[in-house]
Structure 1
Amino acid sequence: MPIELQRIPGAPMAQAVHIRSHEFVADGSVEEGGADGGPSPHDLYDAALGACKALTVLWYARRKGLPVEDVKTVIERDASAERTGTYRLTARLQISGDLTDAQIAELETVAHKCPVHKLMTTVTTEINTSVERMA
């Protein structure tokens, strides 16, 4: 199923993003010429990593019967060297529940294996782009 985006009428840059039955706004910051009406593409990229790590940990904990009560994920971005080829993300997962140190270590190992982490670090992504006249 494709992901579709359509410019929001009257907005300088904002896009309505449609994914399955979900809709939200993506926009550039005011400094970028947008209205900051939603997360930027970089924010969405970073959030994809955080969501994947949290969902992977929750899935694993449920599958293994680990007593995870809550997960809060914080993603910090360092884009200072992006233009020279390095984009740094730091992911910090805060997990509550009656867990041993060994279980916390096990969950950290699992968090490193989330599919988006793998996509960002070990998979070659090929992108084909075309520009067409709108019908």
Structure 2
Amino acid sequence: MALLVSAGIQDARTREIANWKNVVIGLLAPLWWVANGMPVWPDMLIQIAVASIVFGFFVGMFFIGQMGGGDVKMIGALALWFPLSLLVWMLAVMSIAGGVLTIVMMIERKILKKTTPLETPYGLAIAFASLLAVRELLFNHFGVIA
């Protein structure tokens, strides 16, 4: 969780997320799987496949200029952590939070009469949504997303 908070703060300050943070987030996921007794076949392989699809989709968003590379890597690493239903929920919350953050930044630009291009620190929205999803993993073992 500290890595998520750190990545969100770093993105807000610098508009970058350190690669090492995304690598650590991704590499810790298999330890989580093993600690929770997830079988290699088919569950771990399904988790990797879903994360690969999600990562591929967001790589496409990067190539059309809609997301930064650190954001894409962070989403891909986090996709390893969550079961499909929780991942979809996390992505929906992330999208809403990112939209709200973008609107707030647009209002700020208008008030301060800034002319520089808008760069939304989407890592904040990703971290926020992921922290809520982690809460589900840790405290809600009945499969109901609250």
Q: TM-score, normalised by structure 1?
A: 0.29
Question: Which of structures 1 and 2 has the larger relative contact order (alpha carbons within 8 angstroms, sep 6+)?
Answer: 2
Q: TM-score, normalised by structure 2?
A: 0.27
Of Structure 1 and Structure 2, the greater strand share is in 1
Which of the pair has more CA radius of gyration?
A: 1
